[in-house]
Chains A and B, each alone.
Chain A
Amino acid sequence: MPGAPPKPEELVQISYDPPRADWRKTRFDFQKGTYCYSAAAKNLRYLDLPNPRDWQPYEADWKLPPNWKEIILKGMKERLEKFRSFRLFMDICVRCGACADKCHFFLGSADPKNMPVLRAELIRSVYRRYFTLAGRIFRGLAGARDLTEDVLKEWFYYFYQCTECRRCSVFCPFGIDTAEITIMVRELLNLVGVNTNWVLEPAANCFRTGNHLGIQPHTFKDSIDFAVDEIEEITGVRVEAPINKKGAEILFIVPSADYFAVPHYYTLLGYLMLFHEIGLDYTFSAYASEGGNFGFFSSHEMMKRLNAKIYAEAKRLGVKWILGGECGHMWRVIHQYMDTLNGPADFLEEPVSPITGTRFANARSTKMVHICEFTSDLIYNRKLKLDPSRNDHWKVTFHDSCNPARGMGLLEEPRYIIRNVANHFYEMPENTIREQTFCCGSGAGLGTDENIDMRLRGGLPRANAAKYVRDKYGVNLLTCICAIDKATLPTALEYWTPGVEVGGIHELVANALVMKGEKERITDVRGEPLQLGKEATVNA
């Protein structure tokens, strides 16, 4: 920040010459609003992570261990040997630039180091220096550079400006998965105790009580009971919500925000109403009370530790298979990592819907089915009575949450549900949805208060597309199937695109679902008055 205020004549003399320096020499500042605070020592201790201490990124001394460089290089060597993908991604990039303008952080910030190719170059240059012959001999000429404390700080700054959304990898002709590179760098940083509290506190809480906020089983039960009471107030129907019920057919896992945050909570009401209506034999677990896995944002080991509880609970409760709620990265962990981390889950059965008999062969290995697959199957088989006019106050668009969309290919099911439960559905522009969806800008552990400017930069491309459908069609609800989206997109939209609310797909299901014995609905599940007097259209 400048010191003395500028004189009036200086105002017209702003330097507008761009920096021409080599990217390796351009410096950055830990400017307020653009980075996450460090992890509290207590959380590192709880998770048995190295180098617990008090420090902050904006301080000059990061209190690294004296042999930090040796630790990082040894960690790199181990990982290059263990993960073929890591070595491949270090070697294979030809700098074609196809990814360069695909990152939402680049589009919002215009910082070239947010081009995925250049962000990856921050570690590739170090890889070349220490792990390739050309780099060892020719150094800078071969695009190599020494690992210094400044380089480490740069890694921390920029690899916590990647939400691991994988949009860039869709465009890479070699299929380089930049998220995997980010995961590796964060893993390396963890080896010397460089990590953020927004990632490690939820991970530590999750490890202790089973969910991000550290909510204990009795409070979990209170939350679910509260929802049951509220459903009775809205619909007149008393639903059951079993917890830790041994021998239930299905274990149901939700992101914890579904029961302690809004607008997530309205989606929880939808699940409970739906399960009651179809008479599903299911149970929650008060211990696996979190679908989210913030271990995924720090290391493979931590991801494995947190993912294991879901399967441990499935075994303990003796269920046949697992159903998962509207969660984002939980699905990437399940779909792409679980099998080799904690699988195969051969003590469970291949999921079969007890209502329609549909066999979810796609989940044969993980035994875990996405709620949108489950519900769309119910609708397809005409098992639900639906009145979409009860969502007529919403003009809906759908944001493909990165992990379900790009991580597991769940593109049609959510749209199929929306078209059956709402009358007004408008897609955002083609190059901002489905595989090309823009991230919320706050995933992968970046969704914290102190990082707000960076998050808003990253959220701009998504909000910009939402603005288009708001202005063109009057869209006032952006639906999504990820808890981080639901927590952070309202913030981004309030800044960039006011007037567009955020909600879940099963919130719309809750409104549209005609339940046996229900009283006349006068409000939606948010308590907002319904537009009454319209003819019901029914899907049964």
Chain B
Amino acid sequence: MVKISAERKRAIAQAWLEMTLCTYPSQSMQFMLDERDRFRNPVGHALKNGIPLLINEILDETDSERARQALEEIVRIRAVQNFSARDAVGFVFLLKRTLSQELPDDNKDRLELERRVDEMALTAFDFYSQCRAKISDIQVSEARRRVAQLQRIYSEAEGR
């Protein structure tokens, strides 16, 4: 566990959130930051809700299921948005930039924290791959459902 005050944690989370929002077009950023209704702003909500959990995970290494879910939710969204694979998961590395501003270079925890960020990025990449694989699967199931009845009728006719 790395000792950082709750206030500093919030500041780190806010900085990371804002950097991540900056990966979106400028005209949309403010809305995603300001709109509080989770149903009117699903992407902003996933980020605002998820990032503090991810910060806890990095600083306190809680290994919590909630943090995994939050990371998955963010990646699930970014996997279908207008990002390359690199940019979809790259938001995790933006945390390194915040940490470097927050902690002096000779801080003994710095290397360890950066290792955790790398771990999280790799997990994010796993989620990203799973999401893209899922998209192929759902396309196949949709195509099957589309003519499912006709196929049943033909199979039955062939069986007769």
List A residues at the B interface (Cβ < 8 Å): 1-2, 6, 11-12, 14, 16-20, 23, 26, 31, 33-34, 100-101, 106-112, 115, 118, 213, 215, 219, 222-223, 226, 257, 259-263, 265, 429, 431-432, 449, 452-453, 456-457, 460-461, 464-465, 468, 487-488, 490-491, 494-496
Quick check: A107 and B139 within 8 Å, CB to CB? no
Quick check: B138 and A494 within 8 Å, CB to CB? yes
CB interface residues, B 68-127, toward A, < 8 Å: 76-77, 80-82, 84, 86-87, 90-91, 93-94, 96-97, 121
A102 to chain B, nearest CB (A): 8
Quick check: B147 and A213 within 8 Å, CB to CB? yes
Q: How many residues of B contact A (CB 8 A)?
A: 54
Residue of A nearest to B96 (CB): A12
Quick check: B134 and A495 within 8 Å, CB to CB? yes
Would A262 and B31 be within 8 Å (CB), given that A6-B86, A457-B80 are in contact? no
Residue of B nearest to A106 (CB): B28
**What's the dominant secondary structure at chain A's contact region?**
helix
Would A261 and B149 be within 8 Å (CB), given that A2-B86, A491-B142 are in contact? yes
Quick check: B82 and A31 within 8 Å, CB to CB? yes
CB interface residues, B 145-159, toward A, < 8 Å: 145-150, 152-153, 156-157
Would A110 and B147 be within 8 Å (CB), given that A6-B86, A488-B142, A495-B134 are in contact? no
Quick check: B146 and A108 within 8 Å, CB to CB? no
Quick check: B39 and A262 within 8 Å, CB to CB? no
| Cβ-defined partner of A491 (8 Å) among B84, B131, B138, B156 | B138
Chain A residues near B131 (CB-CB < 8 A)? 495
B26 at the interface (CB under 8 A from A): yes
Chain A residues near B147 (CB-CB < 8 A)? 213, 260-261
| Cβ-defined partner of B25 (8 Å) among A110, A262, A452, A468 | A110
| Cβ-defined partner of B82 (8 Å) among A109, A215, A461, A487 | A109
Would A112 and B25 be within 8 Å (CB), given that A6-B86, A456-B80, A487-B142 are in contact? yes
B40 at the interface (CB under 8 A from A): yes
Residue of A nearest to B117 (CB): A12
Quick check: A263 and B145 within 8 Å, CB to CB? yes
B62 at the interface (CB under 8 A from A): no
In the assembled complex, 24 residue pairs joining A and B whose CB atoms fall closer than 8 Å, in A order, are: A6-B86, A11-B90, A16-B19, A16-B20, A34-B82, A101-B35, A106-B28, A108-B42, A109-B82, A110-B81, A111-B25, A260-B146, A260-B149, A261-B147, A261-B149, A265-B148, A456-B80, A457-B80, A464-B39, A465-B39, A468-B39, A487-B146, A494-B141, A496-B76
Chain B residues near A101 (CB-CB < 8 A)? 31, 35, 40-41
Residue of A nearest to B139 (CB): A449
A115 CA to B28 CA, complexed, in Å: 9
Chain A residues near B27 (CB-CB < 8 A)? 23, 112, 115, 118
A100 CA to B84 CA, complexed, in Å: 26
A491 CA to B96 CA, complexed, in Å: 36
Would A17 and B148 be within 8 Å (CB), given that A12-B93, A449-B139, A456-B135 are in contact? no
B23 at the interface (CB under 8 A from A): yes
Would A461 and B156 be within 8 Å (CB), given that A1-B84, A431-B37 are in contact? no
Quick check: B94 and A16 within 8 Å, CB to CB? yes
Chain B residues near A223 (CB-CB < 8 A)? 149-150, 153
Would A461 and B19 be within 8 Å (CB), given that A11-B93, A494-B141 are in contact? no
Would A18 and B156 be within 8 Å (CB), given that A107-B40, A432-B39 are in contact? no
A34 CA to B31 CA, complexed, in Å: 23
A262 CA to B142 CA, complexed, in Å: 10
Would A108 and B43 be within 8 Å (CB), given that A1-B84, A16-B22, A449-B139 are in contact? yes
A259 CA to B40 CA, complexed, in Å: 36
| Cβ-defined partner of A261 (8 Å) among B42, B76, B134, B145 | B145
Chain A residues near B39 (CB-CB < 8 A)? 429, 431-432, 461, 464-465, 468
Residue of A nearest to B153 (CB): A226
Quick check: B87 and A14 within 8 Å, CB to CB? yes
Chain B residues near A457 (CB-CB < 8 A)? 80-81
| Cβ-defined partner of A14 (8 Å) among B94, B139, B150 | B94
A96 to chain B, nearest CB (A): 15
Chain B residues near A18 (CB-CB < 8 A)? 22, 24-26, 29
Chain B residues near A20 (CB-CB < 8 A)? 26
Residue of A nearest to B89 (CB): A11
Chain B residues near A11 (CB-CB < 8 A)? 86, 90, 93, 121
Residue of A nearest to B83 (CB): A31
CB interface residues, B 28-78, toward A, < 8 Å: 28-29, 31-32, 35, 37-43, 76-77
Would A449 and B142 be within 8 Å (CB), given that A18-B24, A112-B27 are in contact? yes
B19 to chain A, nearest CB (A): 5
A16 CA to B93 CA, complexed, in Å: 12
Chain A residues near B32 (CB-CB < 8 A)? 110
Would A460 and B42 be within 8 Å (CB), given that A20-B26, A101-B35, A262-B145 are in contact? yes
Residue of B nearest to A34 (CB): B82
Chain A residues near B93 (CB-CB < 8 A)? 11-12, 14
Would A262 and B149 be within 8 Å (CB), given that A101-B31, A109-B82 are in contact? yes
B144 to chain A, nearest CB (A): 9
A259 CA to B147 CA, complexed, in Å: 9
Quick check: A495 and B138 within 8 Å, CB to CB? yes
A155 CA to B20 CA, complexed, in Å: 29
A205 to chain B, nearest CB (A): 13
Residue of A nearest to B23 (CB): A16
| Cβ-defined partner of B43 (8 Å) among A213, A215, A460 | A460
B15 to chain A, nearest CB (A): 11
B143 at the interface (CB under 8 A from A): yes
Chain B residues near A23 (CB-CB < 8 A)? 27
A527 CA to B131 CA, complexed, in Å: 30
